[in-house]
């Protein structure tokens, strides 16, 4: 459960190791003479209601240590079983140790520096605003504050200023044992200290309420309160509370895909990646993670523990960047060091944010999904207004790029909103939480159906088709693209089901049923492919990273080998033409698509290729600098390979590859709020268990045969699945 390195990180995003508590995040370099801790807070965004703006870096904490002598036994480590990062080394017979964590219960970050000989720590602490604001210091700590007025992201074309400018503030409180600490020129000098503890917090005045103009109280009061409370708590207690809170989520799933030989499992993570790829140990890893090329001549060493680690790492990352009450994970989760980040580090709604959240429920992190719902509900009023103003339709739509104030950019993309709504449906389908469905999801479904009612047009054959648009993000602008058609079908299906479950809107439901039956459906084209466009124009040489006509296979459920075998075969033809290699998130999606098409070996080959080519040494997925969707999409793929529940039954090991003949998994979730444990040997299920908080039965497919199984009653650990619209505290 560890990522570890024998050297400090040099490159942000590729070598630094992330920590976070949902709201606050940091990337830690672990430098010996200079420690750099790069800081983020989720709500530090530029933008307004007409432009997504961009997510911003917050600042950096630097610690310069007085160092003399030779450093030995350096080890930098992230324990994802406890969500604690450590750095250890020795010099002149003194052992130095650092510990870093971000506590969700205490709401702050804690960094502790110790040595086993008293008085060994001397140096200087600085705190820097990413916008060059002034830092003030007193003997207790450091602080900076500012306002985002005057900053504009380079992609915000017609903007010289945004209508919204958030206030922000960061504070570090410093405590020490032994020696002395004093303020000096906006920094803190520490001399002959035994133990140094830094408590850090940052925030903005953002609230997710449009009627409050997106701004609430200045963050200073909350920051000061959290810091004084945390610094008055014994360190051991802070740490214990943090680990307990983290493990209450993380420990729900255990995954064993087979044993790795100790010689490989013990390698530092960067070397382990080289071994996995079949490269030469000790060599630089640079050429490995270019995201595209995979040298088939390199025979990598099997490392099933790494394959499982990458999946559990996704759970670590999700717990660290998306907790109830927070904003959802953006393109980089919460970690970003740039004020002009790639793709605004935003919420892309034509696959990326949806992919971030595909695995949360299957991987038993239902609570971590709630920020997605809260964000989506918060932006609806803005989206509705712009839709009415520009398109004249009821309901709402969005565009590919989205921010936190409802502003969106790029062309209108009709299917995007229905795709976002699909995640909401899935949250209900997994948790069975009707209150959630009634308050957070169904109102969105209903309004989106009205939008589709307004935009669908009858074609010459009497079928309903979406207006001209793009199939993300390539090809011509045409009517009735599979992207839109499949998503309308999905939305209508979810709306029909939801209105039945809630016992509401019978007449409306009938109308939606009629619309669904009249939709132009999936078509098989001249080379046997599943058509991406209404016209039979797919190019068999097209290897574009998006393959939006597969939404019906995964994450949707319109096309499946058991229900629509011809369409499933056509999907295989298209996916074969698209090929396996692509950028990280595209590979990740392919794992799940092939798992749904029940080809476990193919899914495995893609998963293997993703690790070989698309992970940087810190196991984050590259799409320079990195993009977290592929980490999350990878975990979704593993879940789909081991368990599926979209087709009315729970299927165990639907796409198990030969590479994992023996293994076990516990704690995965199936639709209907079942928790599932599976053990297998020689590719066959040898033991399984279904639990549920309520007495209920399920049809379970085990080794090709179905059986009716009564679940054992077990309380549900998901504490916060009952969501009310989150009023995010400033
Ligand atoms: C979509 C993708 C790009 C990138 C961006 C953030 O536009 O096509 O590859 O992932 O989102």
- With cut-offs at 50, 70 and 90, classify the pLDDT of residue 17: very high
CB 256 within 8 A of CB 308: yes
Q: Counting atoms of ligand 1 from 1, which one is nearest the CA of 331?
A: 6
Which residue would you say has higher pLDDT here, 291 or 553?
A: 553
CB 143 within 8 A of CB 133: no
Q: Report how far ligand 1's centroid is from the alpha carbon of 72 (Å).
A: 43
- With cut-offs at 50, 70 and 90, classify the pLDDT of residue 288: low
Mutate to test the pocket of ligand 1, among 352, 472, 588 (most ligand atoms within 8 A of CB): 352
> Does ligand 1 have an atom closer than 6 angstroms to the CB of 331?
yes
Helix, strand, or coil here: 539? coil
CB 584 within 8 A of CB 517: no
Phi, psi angle pair for 689, to nearest 5°: -145, 135
Q: Which residue has the tokens 């604001």?
A: 133
Q: Report how far ligand 1's centroid is from the alpha carbon of 543 (Å).
A: 15
Q: Which of 510, 342, 357, 350 is nearest to 416 (CA)?
A: 350
Residue 723: pLDDT over 80: no
Q: DSSP code of 524?
A: B
Q: Counting atoms of ligand 1 from 1, which one is nearest the CA of 473?
A: 8
C-alpha separations of 452 from 105, 215, 414, 457 in Å: 43, 33, 9, 10
Greatest Cα pair distance, the chain, in angstroms, is 84
Q: Report how far ligand 1's centroid is from the alpha carbon of 577 (Å).
A: 21
In the chain, what percentage of residues exceed pLDDT 70? 96
Phi, psi angle pair for 256, to nearest 5°: -130, 110
For residue 308, give every residue at least 6 positions away whose Cβ sits within 8 Å of its Cβ, in sequence order, or none. Answer: 255, 256, 257
> Does ligand 1 have an atom closer than 6 angstroms to the CB of 226?
no
Q: Report how far ligand 1's centroid is from the alpha carbon of 80 (Å).
A: 28
Residue 589: pLDDT over 50: yes
> Does ligand 1 have an atom closer than 6 angstroms to the CB of 623?
yes
Q: Which of 360, 368, 359, 372 is nearest to 323 (CA)?
A: 368
C-alpha separations of 310 from 495, 620, 642 in Å: 35, 9, 15
Q: Counting atoms of ligand 1 from 1, which one is nearest the CA of 586?
A: 9
> Does ligand 1 have an atom closer than 6 angstroms to the CB of 587?
no
Which residue's C-alpha comes closest to atom 6 of ligand 1?
A: 343
Q: Which of 700, 677, 583, 585 is nearest to 635 (CA)?
A: 585
> Does ligand 1 have an atom closer than 6 angstroms to the CB of 470?
no
Angle, CA of 565, 571 and 577, to the nearest 5°: 145
Q: Report the alpha-carbon distance of residue 394 to residue 704 in Å, rounded.
A: 47
Q: Report how far ligand 1's centroid is from the alpha carbon of 16 (Å).
A: 23
SS (H, E, C) 5-71: ECCCCCCCCCCCEEEECCCEEEEECCCCCEEEEEEEECCCECCCCCCCCCECCCEEEEEEECCCCCC
Q: Which of 401, 407, 291, 419 is nearest to 344 (CA)?
A: 401
- With cut-offs at 50, 70 and 90, classify the pLDDT of residue 290: low
Mean pLDDT (the chain) is 95
Q: Which of 496, 494, 545 is nearest to 355 (CA)?
A: 545
Q: Which of 513, 526, 528, 524 is nearest to 552 (CA)?
A: 524
Q: Report how far ligand 1's centroid is from the alpha carbon of 387 (Å).
A: 23
Q: Report how far ligand 1's centroid is from the alpha carbon of 579 (Å).
A: 18
Q: Report how far ligand 1's centroid is from the alpha carbon of 231 (Å).
A: 42
> Does ligand 1 have an atom closer than 6 angstroms to the CB of 352?
yes
Each residue's pLDDT tens digit, 425-458: 999 999 999 999 999 999 999 999 999 999 999 9
Helix, strand, or coil here: 256? strand
Each residue's pLDDT tens digit, 470-513: 999 999 999 999 999 999 999 999 999 999 999 999 999 999 99
> Does ligand 1 have an atom closer than 6 angstroms to the CB of 171?
no
Q: Which of 2, 1, 5 is nearest to 617 (CA)?
A: 5
> Does ligand 1 have an atom closer than 6 angstroms to the CB of 342?
no
Q: Counting atoms of ligand 1 from 1, which one is nearest the CA of 400?
A: 7
DSSP 446-457: HHHHHHHHHH-E
Q: Report how far ligand 1's centroid is from the alpha carbon of 268 (Å).
A: 31
CB 593 within 8 A of CB 575: yes
DSSP 697-730: EEEEEETTEEEEEEPEE--------S--------
Q: Counting atoms of ligand 1 from 1, which one is nearest the CA of 583?
A: 9
Q: Report the alpha-carbon distance of residue 562 to residue 546 in Å, rounded.
A: 25
The phi-psi region of residue 683 (left if phi > 0; otherwise alpha if psi is between -120 and 50; otherwise beta) is left
pTM: 0.97
- Length of the chain in residues, anyone? 730
CB 17 within 8 A of CB 319: no
Q: Report the alpha-carbon distance of residue 691 to residue 675 in Å, rounded.
A: 5
> Does ligand 1 have an atom closer than 6 angstroms to the CB of 343?
yes
In this structure, what token pair is assigned to residue 227? 């810091």
Q: Report how far ligand 1's centroid is from the alpha carbon of 629 (Å).
A: 10
Residue 14: pLDDT over 50: yes
Each residue's pLDDT tens digit, 659-704: 999 999 999 999 999 999 999 999 999 999 999 998 999 999 999 9
> Does ligand 1 have an atom closer than 6 angstroms to the CB of 450?
no
Each residue's pLDDT tens digit, 198-235: 999 999 999 999 999 999 999 999 999 999 999 999 99
Q: Which of 574, 632, 638, 628 is nearest to 606 (CA)?
A: 638
Q: Report how far ligand 1's centroid is from the alpha carbon of 290 (Å).
A: 16
């Amino acid at each position: 459960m560890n990522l570890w390195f024998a050297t400090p990180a040099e490159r942000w995003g590729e070598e630094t190791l992330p920590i976070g508590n949902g709201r606050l995040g940091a990337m830690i370099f672990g430098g010996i003479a200079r420690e750099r801790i790069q800081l983020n807070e989720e709500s530090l965004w530029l933008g307004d209601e007409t432009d997504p703006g961009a997510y911003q870096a917050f600042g950096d904490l630097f610690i310069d240590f007085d160092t003399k002598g030779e450093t030995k036994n350096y080890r930098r480590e992230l324990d994802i079983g406890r969500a604690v990062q450590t750095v250890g080394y020795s010099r002149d017979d003194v052992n130095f140790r650092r510990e870093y964590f971000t506590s969700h219960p205490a709401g702050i970050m804690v960094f502790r520096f110790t040595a086993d000989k008293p008085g060994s720590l001397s140096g200087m602490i600085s705190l820097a605003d990413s916008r060059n604001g002034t830092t003030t210091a007193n003997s207790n700590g450091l602080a900076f504050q500012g306002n985002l007025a005057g900053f504009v992201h380079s992609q915000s074309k017609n903007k010289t200023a945004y209508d919204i400018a958030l206030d922000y503030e960061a504070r570090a409180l410093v405590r020490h044992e032994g020696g002395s600490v004093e303020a000096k020129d906006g920094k803190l000098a520490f001399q002959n200290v035994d133990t140094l503890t830094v408590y850090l917090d940052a925030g903005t005045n953002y609230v997710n309420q449009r009627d409050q103009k997106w701004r609430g109280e200045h963050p200073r009061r909350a920051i000061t309160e959290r810091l004084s409370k945390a610094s008055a708590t014994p360190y051991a207690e802070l740490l214990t509370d943090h680990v307990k809170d983290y493990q209450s989520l993380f420990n729900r799933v255990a995954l064993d895909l087979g044993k790795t030989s100790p010689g490989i499992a013990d390698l530092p993570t960067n070397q382990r990646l080289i071994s996995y790829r079949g490269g030469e140990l000790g060599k630089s890893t640079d050429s490995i993670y270019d995201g595209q090329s995979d040298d088939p001549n390199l025979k990598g060493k099997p490392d099933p523990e790494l394959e499982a680690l990458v999946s559990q790492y996704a759970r670590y990352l999700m717990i660290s960047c998306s907790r109830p009450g927070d904003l959802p994970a953006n393109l980089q989760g919460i970690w970003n060091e740039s004020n002009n980040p790639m793709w605004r580090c935003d919420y892309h709604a034509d696959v990326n944010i949806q992919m971030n959240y595909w695995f949360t429920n299957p991987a038993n992190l239902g609570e971590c999904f709630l920020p997605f719902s809260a964000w989506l509900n918060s932006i609806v009023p803005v989206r509705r207004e712009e839709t009415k103003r520009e398109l004249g339709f009821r309901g709402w739509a969005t565009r590919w790029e989205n921010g936190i104030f409802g502003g969106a950019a790029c062309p209108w993309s009709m299917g995007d909103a229905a795709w976002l709504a699909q995640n909401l449906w899935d949250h209900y389908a997994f948790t069975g939480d009707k209150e959630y469905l009634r308050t957070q999801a169904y109102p969105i479904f209903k309004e989106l159906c009205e939008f589709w009612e307004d935009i669908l047009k009858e074609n010459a054959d009497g079928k309903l088709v979406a207006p001209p648009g793009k199939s993300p993000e390539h090809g011509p602008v045409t009517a009735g693209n599979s992207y839109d058609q499949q998503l309308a079908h999905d939305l209508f299906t979810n709306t029909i089901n939801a209105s039945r479950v809630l016992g509401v809107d019978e007449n409306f439901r009938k109308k939606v049923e009629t619309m669904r039956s009249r939709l132009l459906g999936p078509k098989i084209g001249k080379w046997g492919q599943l058509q991406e466009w209404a016209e039979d124009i797919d190019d068999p040489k097209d290897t574009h990273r998006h393959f939006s006509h597969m939404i019906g296979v995964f994450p949707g459920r319109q096309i499946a080998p058991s229900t629509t075998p011809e369409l499933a075969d056509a999907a295989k033809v298209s996916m074969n033409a698209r090929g396996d290699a692509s950028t990280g998130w595209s590979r990740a999606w392919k794992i799940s698509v092939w798992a749904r098409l029940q080809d476990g070996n193919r899914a495995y080959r893609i998963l293997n290729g993703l690790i070989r080519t698309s992970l940087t040494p810190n196991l984050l997925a590259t799409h320079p600098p990195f993009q977290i969707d592929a980490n999350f999409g990878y975990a979704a793929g593993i879940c789909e390979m081991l368990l599926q529940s979209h087709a009315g039954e729970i299927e165990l090991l639907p796409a198990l590859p030969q590479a994992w003949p023996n293994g076990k998994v516990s704690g995965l979730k199936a639709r209907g709020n079942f928790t599932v444990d599976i053990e297998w040997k020689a590719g066959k299920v040898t033991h399984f268990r279904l639990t549920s908080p309520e007495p209920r039965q399920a049809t379970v497919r085990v080794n090709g045969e179905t059986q009716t199984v009564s679940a054992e009653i077990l309380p549900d650990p998901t504490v916060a699945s009952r969501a009310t619209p989150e009023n995010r505290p400033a």
